[in-house]
Amino acid sequence: MYVLGIESTAHTFGVGIVKDGEVIANERDTLKPAQGGIIPREAAAHHYRLAPMLLKAAIDKAGIKMKDIDVVGFSQGPGLIPALKVGYQVAHLISEKYGAKVVGVNHCIAHLEIARKYTGLEDPVMLYVSGGNTQVITYQGGRYLVFGETQDIGVGNLIDKIGRKMGMPFPAGPKIENMARSGRKYIKLPYSIKGMDVSFTGMETFVSRIIGREKSEDVSFSLQETIFAMLIEASERAMAYCRKDSLVITGGVAANSRLNDMGEVMCRERGAVSKRIPLEYAGDNGAMIAYTAYLMKDYRQRDLTIKPRYRTDTVEIKYR
Tell me how far apart the alpha carbons of residues 165 and 129 are, in angstroms, rounded to a whole number: 21
pLDDT of residue 143: 97
- Count helices and strands (H / E) in the chain: 9, 12
pLDDT of residue 35: 75
User: Where do the domains of the chain lie, and which CATH numbers do they carry?
Assistant: 2-110+281-314 (3.30.420.40), 121-278 (3.30.420.40)
**Which stretches within 245-313 are classed as H helix?**
257-270, 286-295
Whole-model pTM: value is: 0.96
Backbone angles phi, psi at 243, to 5 degrees: 60, 45
- Give whole-number Cα distances, 215 to 188, 208, 212, 218, in Å: 14, 13, 7, 5
Q: Name beta bridge partners: 278.
A: none
Tell me how far apart the alpha carbons of residues 296 and 118 are, in angstroms, rounded to a whole number: 18
Q: What is the DSSP letter of 166?
A: T
pLDDT of residue 98: 97
Residue 304: other Cβ atoms inside 10 A: 14
Q: What is the dihedral of CA 224, 159, 30, 126, to 10 degrees?
A: 60
Work out the mean pLDDT of the chain and round it to a whole number: 96
pLDDT of residue 38: 85
DSSP 3-state percent helix, strand, coil across the chain (nearest 5): 45, 20, 30
- Give whole-number Cα distances, 122 to 46, 172, 244, 252, 315, in Å: 36, 32, 11, 21, 19
Q: Name beta bridge partners: 19.
A: 2, 22
The answer to whether 107 and 77 are in contact (CB under 8 A) is yes
The whole-number mean pLDDT for each consecutive block of 10 residues of the chain, a chain of 320 residues, reads: 98 98 97 84 97 98 98 98 98 97 98 98 97 95 96 96 93 96 97 96 97 97 98 98 97 97 98 97 97 96 96 95
pLDDT of residue 37: 78
Among 114, 118, 127, CA closest to 266: 127
The answer to whether 312 and 134 are in contact (CB under 8 A) is no
End-to-end CA gap in the chain: 20
